[in-house]
Structure 1
Amino acid sequence: MKRDELGDLVAFLTVYEERSFTRAAARLGTSQSALSHIIKRLETRLALRLLTRTTRNVAPTEAGEKLAETLRPALDDIEARLGSLNAMRERPAGNIRITASRDVAQEILFPKARDLMREYPDISIEIAVEQKFTDIVAERFDAGVRLGESVEKDMIAVQIGPDLRMLVVGSPEYLAAHGRPETPADLTHHKCINLRLPTLGGLYAWELGQGDRAINVRVEGQFICNDGDLITEAALAGLGLCCLPDRRVAPLIARGQLVAVLEDWCPSFPGYHLYYPSRLQGSPAFSLLVAKLRWRGERGTSAP
């Protein structure tokens, strides 16, 4: 294989994964016209149409699908072997791409990533802030962050933060006017602020329970939102009860601006985990990041 032929295959696979010449060109650091020329050259050499182009998107042909299925495992193996060569360097190096929600990126990922990059100048880290669940293999991320209970079974998962707890809270004014719920069943008589899940689009069912008894409560009220900050503002304004992570509402509870209710029905659950495929275990740079992020506190505690 000639030197430029491998580059053409990488370019094709990038367009295939991005389904866009614009995004693929940006990822490869080249122009759309140059990338289009490369794909045409590859199709001419193979005498096969690999991609179908329209004004709105790019789709692989049957031949393109087969070529991509052949290339991805081969290139993954090459990347893994190149990564293992970094172990022979005196200083760890490499690029690491991670996807995470904004809260965990700000509170956990970035502080540790910042410290690691200061300590190891040859390590580069990209954090993509996204609320949706991302297929890290298909999207070419090295790792992602999710709550422990939602990590796929075929991934390696490392806890990077404390166990969490959802708390039901309301303003003192609201509780004075409507009373305190004593059991989850009482929530049917209260105005509740619903959270629209950013991943699936449905409404969050409040996950309450005691011991082995778990209850998912569907609540109703005047206000629905997909943003935790606005839901907090709505609770402070007395629009009803809400159910949010304890780390978000703890300062407001301490100042008396919100009051927790049904605390006996609010169990803790596994916190945030970094998850990644096993092929990354041999990368020195990635191993250093995992070591930085690994949670070493006591289980069952909550973040301030």
Structure 2
Amino acid sequence: MERHQLNDLLAFAAVARERSFTRAASRLGMSASALSHAMRGLEERLGVRLLARTTRSVAPTEAGARLLQSLNPAFADIEDGLSALAEWRDEPSGTVRITTFAYAAKRVLVPKLPGFLLAHPGVHVEVNIEDGLTDIVAAGFDAGIRFGETVEKDMIAVRLGPDLRTVVVGTPGYFERVPPPQTPYDLDRHACIGYRLTTSGGLLPWEFEKDGKDIKVRTSGPLVANDGDLAAAAVRAGAGLGYIMEQDVVDDIASGALVQVLADWCPTFPGFHLYHPSRRQSPPALRALMAALRSG
């Protein structure tokens, strides 16, 4: 295979995964127009249309999807071979691509990733933040960071922290106006601050469990936001009840600034986990990053 053909196949895989010439071009370090021209040339040489283009999106055709399925394991083997060379170096190097969501980035990556990068100058980390779950193999990520309960069973998962809990809180002043709820079913009589998922656009449901019974409640109230800090500020101001991670309001509860309700309906759940495909050996750069995120 000639070199330019391999380059074009790598470029095609990037476009098919990103479903965007702009994003794929940025990742490949080339212009979108040059990438589009290369893809037309590849399709002409193969005699098959690989990408369905519209004015707003691009997606692999049936033939393109089949080609991508064939290319993924081959490229994975190449990446594994290159990663194995790092075993011979004194320091890990290479690029680690991670998908996660905003809260995990704030709690896991912000405290430790900058120090890791300073300690390992040969490692480059690319972080993609989105609420929705991502197929890390199909999308070309090395690993993801999610809550443990959302990690697929065929992945290798490494715990990064303790179990967590989401709690319902309000200010004392709010509860002077409205009696505290006794069960999740009482929330329909309360002003609740909602959180909108940025990826899907849906409202985050308030989830509860007691005596083996799971309940999801769709709340309503004066504010819906896709920013957790803004939602928490409205709760602290007394505008309504909040469904917030316990670790974010533990000091408020201890000081009496916020009052927790429905405590017996809010069990713990597995906290943050880093996960990666089980079929692939972890490259040294990823192993070093996992060690750094688990430390302390």
- TM-score normalised to the size of structure 2? 0.87
Correspondences of 1:37-186 after superposition (within 5 Å): 37-186=37-186
SS in 2 for 1:281: coil
Q: Please report how far the alpha carbon of residue 28 of structure 1 lies from its aligned counterpart in structure 2 after TM superposition.
A: 1.0
Cα distance change on mapping 1:164 and 1:60 into 2, 3 Å: closer
Shift of 1:280: 4.4
Alignment of 1:259-278 (within 5 A): 259-278=259-278
Summarize the Cα distance change of 1:229–1:90 in structure 2 as closer, same or farther, 3 Å threshold. Answer: closer
Q: Tell me by how many angstroms 1:10 deviates.
A: 1.1
2: CA distance between counterparts of 1:22 and 1:219?
A: 38
Q: 1:278 to 1:208 in 2, by over 3 A?
A: same
Residue in 2 that maps onto 1:299: none
- In structure 2, how many angstroms separate the alpha carbons of the residues matched to 1:210 and 1:116? 41
Q: Map of 1:204-215 to 2, 5 A cutoff?
A: 204-210=204-210, 212-215=212-215
The alignment of Structure 1 onto Structure 2 pairs a total of residues equal to 296
- Seen in structure 2, the aligned counterparts of structure 1 residues 227 and 20 have a Cα distance that, compared at 3 Å, is closer
User: Taking structure 1 as reference, are residues 222 and 60 closer, same or farther at Cα in structure 2, changes over 3 Å only?
Assistant: closer
Task: For 1:173 and 1:18, locate their aligned partners in 2 and report how far apart those are by CA, in whole Å.
Answer: 48
8 Å CA contact 1:196–1:204 kept in 2: the answer is: yes
- For structure 1, which segment, 93-102 or 249-258, has the greater mean C-alpha deviation from structure 2 after superposition? 249-258
Name the structure 2 match of 1:254: 254
Range moving further from structure 2, 184-193 or 153-162: 184-193
Deviations 1:15-74 (A, max 9, x none): 222333322222111123432343343334333333344433334344433322222221
Matched letter for residue 164 of structure 1: L
Q: TM-score, normalised by structure 1?
A: 0.85
Cα distance in 1 for partners of 2:227, 2:90 equals 45
**Residue 270 (structure 1) shift:** 0.9
Displacement after TM superposition at 1:283 (Å):
0.8
Structure 1 residues 95 and 280: CA distance shift in structure 2, 3 A: farther
Quote how far apart the aligned CAs of 1:185 are. 4.4
User: Residue type of the partner of 1:133?
Assistant: L
The one-letter code of the counterpart of 1:10 is: L
Q: Distance in 2 between matches of 1:216 and 1:54?
A: 38
Equivalents in 2 of 1:10, 1:27: separation in Å?
11
- Structure 2 residue aligned with 1:300: none
Q: Which amino acid aligns with 2:47?
A: A
Structure 1: any 5+ residue segments left out of the alignment? 297-304
Pick closer, same or farther for the CA change 1:163–1:199 going to 2, 3 Å.
farther
- The residue type equivalent to 1:72 in the other structure is N
**Over 6 Å off, 4+ runs:** none
**Aligned equivalent of 2:191:** 191
Contact 2:197 2:226 in 1 (8 A): yes
8 Å Cα contact 1:195/1:226 also seen in 2: yes
Any conservation in 1 of the 2:104–2:146 contact (CA below 8 Å)? Answer: no
Match of 1:290 in 2: 290
Q: Secondary structure at the match of 1:14?
A: helix
Residue identity opposite 1:75 in structure 2: F
User: Is the deviation greater in 53-62 or in 103-112?
Assistant: 53-62
Kept in 2, the 8 Å contact 1:142–1:280? The answer is no
Q: Give the Å deviation of 1:279.
A: 4.2
Name the SS for the 2:127 alignment partner: strand
Q: Give the stretch that moved more between structures: 134-143 or 205-214.
A: 205-214
User: In 2, Cα distance between the equivalents of 1:63 and 1:181?
Assistant: 56
CA distance in 1, matches of 2:152, 2:28: 29
| 1:84/1:282 contact within 8 Å kept | no
CA distance in 1, matches of 2:283, 2:267: 37
Query: Cα distance, 1:105 vs. partner?
Result: 1.1
Task: State the structure with more CA Rg.
Answer: 1
Per-residue deviation at 1:160?
1.0
Q: 1:179 to 1:21 in 2, by over 3 A?
A: closer
Q: Which amino acid aligns with 1:167?
A: V
Write the distance in 2 (CA, Å) between the matches of 1:133 and 1:27.
Answer: 21
CA distance in 1, matches of 2:84, 2:194: 48
- For the 8 Å contact 1:161–1:295, the answer to whether it is kept is no
3-state SS in 2 of match to 1:268 = coil
What do you get for the CA RMSD once the two structures are aligned?
2.5
